[in-house]
Amino acid sequence: MAHDLDLPRTYGLEPVLAWDRNRTHVKQSREYVLGPMPPASFIDEFLPVVSSDRGSLLSSRKAFAAVPRCADTPAHVYEPLASALNRCTKYKARCPGYAFEKTIERSRRPERLGYAKPHICCFTSENVDVVRRADKVSRIEFGYAELFIQVAASPLTDYFVDPEPYADVPTLIAHQFTRTFDDDQAYDQAERAWGLHIAFATEVFARQHRTFLFTVSVFGTFARLYRWDRSGCVISAAFDIHEHSDIFSEFFWRFSQLSDAERGHDLTVQMSTETEETLFGETVRAYVALQLEASGEELDKALSAHYQPGHVTKVAVHPVGAGGRETRDLLVSRPVVSPLHLDGRCTRGFWAVDVKTAKVMFLKDTWRTPSQSETEGDVVGRLNVLGVRNIPTVAYNGDVVDDIVPAHASTAGFQETRTNLYITEPWSRCIDGKDVYVSKRRHCRLVMGTVGYSIKTLRGTEELLYSTYDVFLAMKDAFEKGSRLHRDPSAGNIILVKEPDRPIRRGYLIDWDASDAVDETGVALNGGRVGTWLFMSIRLLDGRDADIKHTFPDDMESLLYVVFHCALCYLPHSLSDRDLTTIHFEFFERVLRLRGLVGGGSVKLGNALDRGITKEITWGSASFAEWLNTVMDYHHPPSTSLYAYNDKWNAATLEAFWSQFLETHELERDNRVVHRISKVSRYDRNSPDTPTPPLPSPISEPKRGRAESSPDIEDARAVKRDRFGDEPEPEPVDNALSPSSRCSVAGLSDFAILIGEFGSSTTALDHLLACYSDKVLQVNSEAAIITASTYLRTSTMAVQPFKLQDRLADVADFLDRAGHNPRRRLLTRDGEHTLFRRSTKLGTLSERCVQAASRSAPREYLRLAFPRWVSVSPIIMSGLPDSRPFRNTPRMRGSPTERRGRSNQHQHQHQLAYGTRAAHRPWY
């Protein structure tokens, strides 16, 4: 897999982000899972009978009788299961030629998502010894696994549910394949198990050259069979391995009889010889030295991103037009891009060496949609002929030939997915109230002669502005000469290449797969929002038009955001890491969901109107600040200069300014400064904290460290001690507590520390909410309100209560509009939860928001949705939570009379604090 050179780990598989990745996997899987397929049909369809001779097959009678129907721990299930699968005699076996290892026991931290491994992995007899000798710290199991089995102690943790065996047709049509959970804890367990299963399958695909994969899940004595490919996953119906041990045994027996290709291996990829590996290592090393002008240890480190000794393979490419008679062999090792999801294009990119010419090439291995009239190779090849500058040159490309010859065909076809063939089967049930549709994918390879490094390796201001100017020329040439829009200018689609005739690396615009032809008016022929969310234009991020079409100004705006993004990450400026993280999330990542609409760009729009973001940044390069301010004025003129900058947002004007700017300004060449954007809000709650995170984690226990010596912190704690008397600090929260409980208990201490650190409660609340990304909003939005409300009720500090209550009301408003449960939990003196209900009505405001969203500009929508809107507030810009209401909240203790008494006492305290005619009443 791709390697992170800054850290000794695989790129994209950070353990602390496993929880966030797995939740994303689960959400995406609802769009590509088909089932429940009858188990017998599953076996007959995907595991053909090779031989009728079953003399070496062990009897299936009571084969899995030792597996308990329900157990206390998964170990009580996978241990007898592995024993049963490995059972053999001198002449018979359950799965001849294969061994089943309890790989969960090879994990250092099996209970942590980022370190977990499958409970059981199946290896060939030749490879099992390699795995056993390897260090347990490694992930070698995923590189050699033929299939894996994921185990749960109880059938109740199955994420899916089958219809009743004899249900009538209307019931079958309405049946939801995904299970509905009434208990949050049960849902969390099922989501965790299913997310791990998907994560393991994803990693197997990323570490092996595969076309498909078989896996198994066992819940007590109930099992499901899975077949994964790049279109999706087909899942069998659940069956009892006690009652149907013959089906379970038949699956493993047939699996043992399959060829390598029939088990999902891509046979167009083979191990290289020692001579070929030497050729690869020497050729790539020389090219890296040329590109980076590096030597010694620096060169060795850079080489490790492309070459792993002992892991060089030879990939066959069948060029289009060769009639199948010509095959070009390429040597590859470690990819620079690894697919971290299962369905879709799943692009994998390699620095490759052509065996015939010994030249360094770039191999793009992907799964395309066969219905496309043109492949990316066709598009880029035609643009090469038209003379478009600064795009890669195509050497050759072609679809990958399949090694499996279908029974009804005389010759082999191409490697294609099969999940799409079963979308109309009568057993396929709906998910989320709609039928699941997946598209067909075909494996293809594109070889290009242009090889370079990501723009993220830029050395300074000079290289950033020169290389992005090169990319702008590529976009302009493609539009004017080839009548084509790229539609996805992003930081991931720009590479820098060192060329002999130029001291600065040249920028190349790559990945033209999403490009589209334009009509006579310059508008894309095909509608729909396409591109990278972070860099989309304001117009495209407006979610009200699903068929919106791209224009060239949209691509120009995306390139502007690429420059701004790279400058924030790699050029000197005045922002702290905390402020950078907040700005990056609000400006580039924020997603707004409302009544089925998905949109964003509100902060981009706000900055375009009043420069609320960019005017607060002091850049280390005055020249870059001049360039950025001028181009932003071209894009959206300020109110004071509407006439001066009117109609300047066009290709000709921007090219004239940019080229003249580069000629007349001396730019910094080596002023690269790497700024880290924190991902603390997406950290796995069960993974260890990083040594020095840029932001304090709002989920975990507050860290004291540097804050211990702050006098402001001590003052905040003293106020809290005065309010609570001599009561002790809250005890450290045990990880066994639910996430919402942990946030509620630890919230007050977190908030007090932040007040001391930021100097005001309002700024602390903004920061606290900014730490919670929308992917964990289901827990932490409410926790933020709990924390701030608790602070208001217990603190005697002068904190401008009306302003803070005003912000709390805004947050509560949009939580209610999102369908969040109106009950809110507050932390009382004794640490218990108490229920309160809001007394305000929000229906009229909600209707106005929906009307504004359907017919008005985004700014008007925000004004109506948040009448107390300030320029850039994490509260205002926070996305709507996509979560289930909280359940099982503890009720108030005591008799009805006692409860009424406490409620009256609370109302009296409120009147004393705010007056009987307070402008903004408390949201609770």
DSSP per-residue string spanning 451-475? --EEGGG--SHHHHHHHHHHHHHHH
State which residues of the chain have pLDDT below 70: 4-11, 322-325, 405-412, 681, 684-924
Q: How far apart are CA 632 and CA 567, in angstroms?
A: 14
Is the distance from CB of 29 to CB of 198 less than 8 angstroms?
yes
Note the pLDDT of residue 839.
26
Is the distance from CB of 256 to CB of 58 less than 8 angstroms?
no
Q: Which of 697, 662, 703, 702 is nearest to 682 (CA)?
A: 697
Is the distance from CB of 200 to CB of 118 less than 8 angstroms?
yes
Is the distance from CB of 756 to CB of 718 less than 8 angstroms?
no
Note the pLDDT of residue 763.
52
pTM reported for the whole predicted model: 0.75
Note the pLDDT of residue 407.
53
Q: How far apart are CA 671 and CA 676, in angstroms?
A: 16
Q: How far apart are CA 652 and CA 479, in angstroms?
A: 12
Q: Which of 642, 588, 583, 645 is nearest to 613 (CA)?
A: 583
Q: Which residues of 578-616 are buried (b: 16+ CB within 10 A; e: fewer)?
A: bebbbbbbbbbbbbbbbeeeebbbbbbbbbbeebebbee
Is the distance from CB of 813 to CB of 917 less than 8 angstroms?
no
Q: How far apart are CA 348 and CA 12, in angstroms?
A: 13
Q: Which residues pair with 836 in a beta bridge?
A: 824
Note the pLDDT of residue 698.
30
Give the gyration radius of the chain's Cα atoms: 30
Burial class (CB in 10 A: 0-12, 13-18, 19+), 76: middle
Note the pLDDT of residue 295.
92
Q: How far apart are CA 444 and CA 354, in angstroms?
A: 17
Neighbours of 141 (CB within 10 A): 24
